[in-house]
Amino acid sequence: MKFKVLIIFLALFAKTNCFGQEVIGFEIDPNDTTFLPDDSTVITTVYKWDKLMSYALDSNEVWSVDGIGNVFTSKNGVINKYDSIGVLKFSQSIKSMGNMTQMLPINSMKLVHFSEEQQTLCYLDNTLSQTDDCLELADRDIVNASLVAASSRPDVIWVFDNLNSKLILMALDNAPEKQREIENLAGILDIENISQIVERESRLYLVDDRKGVYVFDIYGSLLNHYERETIIKVDASSETVFMLFDRVLKLVIYDFNTEFIIPLPMEDIIDFRYCNQHYYFRTSQHVHNFSLQIVE
């Protein structure tokens, strides 16, 4: 699929705006076509990044953000919850749950702790207190889950079984009518290495860092495939797929077959979330919350 491409050229500046927020920009050489697909149309305009907040963390910490801007970090068996202005609200020991691989905000009242080592899902409330006994995935005949993803439906969760190359929509109450399975993904789609799964707005995204992004509906039917290499992370909204690469963020607009290519506001970004017009970029030592603004 060909896209009309909008390259965003940012003037180089670093200052504060009227709210005391740091504004950061980078310049890209107009002659650099490294990130352009073939047969692209190039348009230029100017945007700027506004840095709103930063959260310190260590390189081995797990982190996430929920739909109202609460940021969660975890290290050394302790999970922390910060509100949208950076105030530490709760801190809780979770050593008994095993090493955390992912944390998944289901909503503002529920958080899932996934341990690949223990093959368990544990549930925390909005104060980070454990609510129920942890769910043993082996009890659902899953013995090698490597990735999980929250769903907009709070009674189900996506699980990727790496050993069997199988994607499972698992009902937490074990109701068979709610469950779905997509088997033999490696054989059907020629997927080599699934690095991420995420559900957004009734679409499920599977990321293979060498093959691109596969988009499914919530029933497991393949809707689209964006062929891209070296993708670091993906997120999405109802209208846009956000793809993080080494130097740029690519935005694919569903309805217009248009791809925006935006230089990142800093170097060494290793993870990314998009939430309610906020862009959360993770480096080895921080999570940075940015907004993206048009420069008039």
Residue 15 has pLDDT above 50, yes or no: no
Tens of pLDDT, residue by residue over 177-221, are: 888 888 888 888 888 789 999 999 889 999 998 899 999 998 888
Q: How confident is the model at residue 14 (pLDDT cuts 50, 70, 90)?
A: very low
* Buried-state track 7-25, b at ≥16 Cβ within 10 A, e below 16: bbbbeeeeeeeeeeebbbb
**H/E run at residue 275:** strand 271-275
pLDDT (average), residues 230-240: 93
pLDDT for 283 equals 96
pLDDT for 243 equals 96
- Cα separation of 62 and 236, whole Å? 20
Residue 26 has pLDDT above 60, yes or no: no
pLDDT (average), residues 239-267: 89
pLDDT for 32 equals 47
Edge-to-edge order in the sheet of strand 194-200: 194-200, 203-208, 212-217, 222-226
213, 243 in Cβ contact below 8 A?
Answer: yes
Q: How confident is the model at residue 4 (pLDDT cuts 50, 70, 90)?
A: very low
CA 213 to chain centre: 13
Residue 290 has pLDDT above 60, yes or no: yes
Supply the DSSP string of 86-130, one letter for each residue: S-EEEEEE-GGG---SEEEEEETTEEEEEETTTTEEEEEETTS-B
Q: What is the largest CA-CA distance in the chain?
A: 58
Tens of pLDDT, residue by residue over 103-157, are: 999 988 999 999 999 999 999 999 999 998 899 999 999 989 999 999 988 889 9
pLDDT for 193 equals 87
Strand partners, 15: 23
pLDDT (average), residues 53-66: 92
pLDDT for 44 equals 60
Tens of pLDDT, residue by residue over 69-101, are: 999 999 888 999 999 899 999 999 999 998 999
- Answer whether CATH 2.120.10.30 is correct for domain 4-294: yes
Average pLDDT, the chain: 84
- The residue that leads in pLDDT, 144 or 9, is 144
